[in-house]
Amino acid sequence: MLEGRHLIEPMDFTNEELDGIFELADSIIEDEKSYMDKCRGKILASLFYEPSTRTRFSFEAAMYRLGGQVIGFSEPSSSSVSKGESIADTIKTVSCYADIAVMRHPKEGAPKVASMYSDIPVINAGDGGHQHPTQTLTDLLTIRRTKGEIGNITIGCCGDLKFGRTVHSLIKALSRYENVKFVLISPSELKIPDYIKREVLEKNGIEYVEAEKLEENMGSLDILYMTRVQKERFFNEEDYIRLKDSYILTPDKMEYAKKDMMVLHPLPRVNEISPEIDSDPRALYFKQAKYGMYVRMALIAKLLGVC
């Protein structure tokens, strides 16, 4: 039972609980209309202590498509933060007005604190560089719907694997499924942290390789998960110039890929995927964004206990 629960970290739910969410999302996609009044009379508090249009839109559209309403703010300047109120007091007050809350916060752990004082379910919509569990749900639903299952895949994660919370969460989540292999493609400065290798991959006996070049590894992948490589993250200009093109997905690199390889990206992208790829049927990142809305509909409905 997910009713009344919080979602703070991607691993808060068991695989069975996740299956329940994904099955509900499938059902919503199939017949959206029959869900349009499920949250009638319910209010989502959308608490964005830092701007994130995409994630905010996704949650708010999800609530509206379930027939619910939304109160909220989209940046801290229009909130009471300036008055020095604690997160605990804010969520206790919000609990008076709303039935469920979603929180994006620049400080790690803020949504967790909120959930400890809240009378209503709290969903973490990103806390600093820490967690962004509904992105992970989005990624899993997209894989599940495209491949038919989540296991039995070779997935390449490409870009900034050091700071990218999206990739860290995805690796953790996928480590609970059968027969998942990772190809971790990044410049050496931005390699996956050791603790993920030791505590997630090796501990669970998961096969992985590390690589520096995208094109050389393309052919083996069922899924390519792209993320951005920011110039500022490189130690020196030369390395950046030498490597940057390796981390931009272009049509010529796609020629090495399997015919049914999925290209995913959490968005927004800057230049790490060439817009020419958008028309390639393997480019699934906008579909992924749409699935993000559906998985949030399913999540909200489950936490509110209306489905």
Interface contacts to a second copy, rule CB under 8 A: 33, 36, 40-41, 43, 45, 48, 51-54, 56-58, 60-61, 64-65, 69, 71, 73-75, 77-80, 82-86, 88-90, 92-98, 267-270, 275, 278, 286, 289-290, 292-293
* Number of residues in the chain: 307
Six-digit token pair at 69?
């309403």
Six-digit token pair at 46?
């959308």
What is d(CA 79, CA 48) in angstroms, rounded to the nearest whole number? 9
Task: Tell me: cis bond preceding 133? Omega within 30 of 0 counts.
Answer: no
Do residues 91 and 71 lie in contact, with contact meaning Cβ atoms separated by under 8 Å?
Answer: no
Tell me if 40 is assigned to a ligand binding site.
no
Tell me if 290 is assigned to a ligand binding site.
no
Nearer to a second copy, 83 or 259 (CB): 83
Q: Work out how close the CB of 194 gets to a second copy at its nearest, in angstroms, rounded to a whole number.
A: 29
Q: Work out how close the CB of 282 gets to a second copy at its nearest, in angstroms, rounded to a whole number.
A: 16
Six-digit token pair at 222?
């069922």
Six-digit token pair at 185?
């493609």
Tell me if 288 is assigned to a ligand binding site.
no
Nearer to a second copy, 69 or 220 (CB): 69
Residues 224, 134, 288: CA angle, nearest 5 degrees: 40
Tell me if 176 is assigned to a ligand binding site.
no
Residue 130 exposure: Cα atoms within 13 Å on the Cβ side: 16
Nearer to a second copy, 143 or 297 (CB): 297
Q: Work out how close the CB of 216 gets to a second copy at its nearest, in angstroms, rounded to a whole number.
A: 28
Nearer to a second copy, 41 or 205 (CB): 41
Ordered alpha helix ranges (H), the chain: 15-30, 53-65, 87-97, 110-117, 133-147, 165-174, 194-196, 237-243, 251-254, 285-304
Count the Cβ atoms, other than its own, within 10 Å of residue 252.
10
Nearer to a second copy, 167 or 221 (CB): 167
Q: Work out how close the CB of 67 gets to a second copy at its nearest, in angstroms, rounded to a whole number.
A: 8
Task: Tell me: cis bond preceding 266? Omega within 30 of 0 counts.
Answer: no
Q: Work out how close the CB of 115 gets to a second copy at its nearest, in angstroms, rounded to a whole number.
A: 16
What is d(CA 180, CA 174) in angstroms, rounded to the nearest whole number? 7
Q: Work out how close the CB of 290 gets to a second copy at its nearest, in angstroms, rounded to a whole number.
A: 4
Do residues 105 and 50 lie in contact, with contact meaning Cβ atoms separated by under 8 Å?
Answer: yes
Tell me if 133 is assigned to a ligand binding site.
no
Tell me if 244 is assigned to a ligand binding site.
no
Tell me if 132 is assigned to a ligand binding site.
yes
Nearer to a second copy, 54 or 242 (CB): 54
Tell me if 268 is assigned to a ligand binding site.
yes
Nearer to a second copy, 33 or 259 (CB): 33
Which letter does DSSP use for residue 7 in this model? Answer: B
Pairing mode, strands 208-211 and 69-73: unpaired
Q: Work out how close the CB of 82 gets to a second copy at its nearest, in angstroms, rounded to a whole number.
A: 7
Tell me if 53 is assigned to a ligand binding site.
no
Six-digit token pair at 9?
């970290």
- Can you say which residues are annotated as belonging to the binding site for carbamoyl phosphate? 54-55, 104, 132, 135, 267-268
- Can you say which residues are annotated as belonging to the binding site for L-aspartate? 83, 165, 228
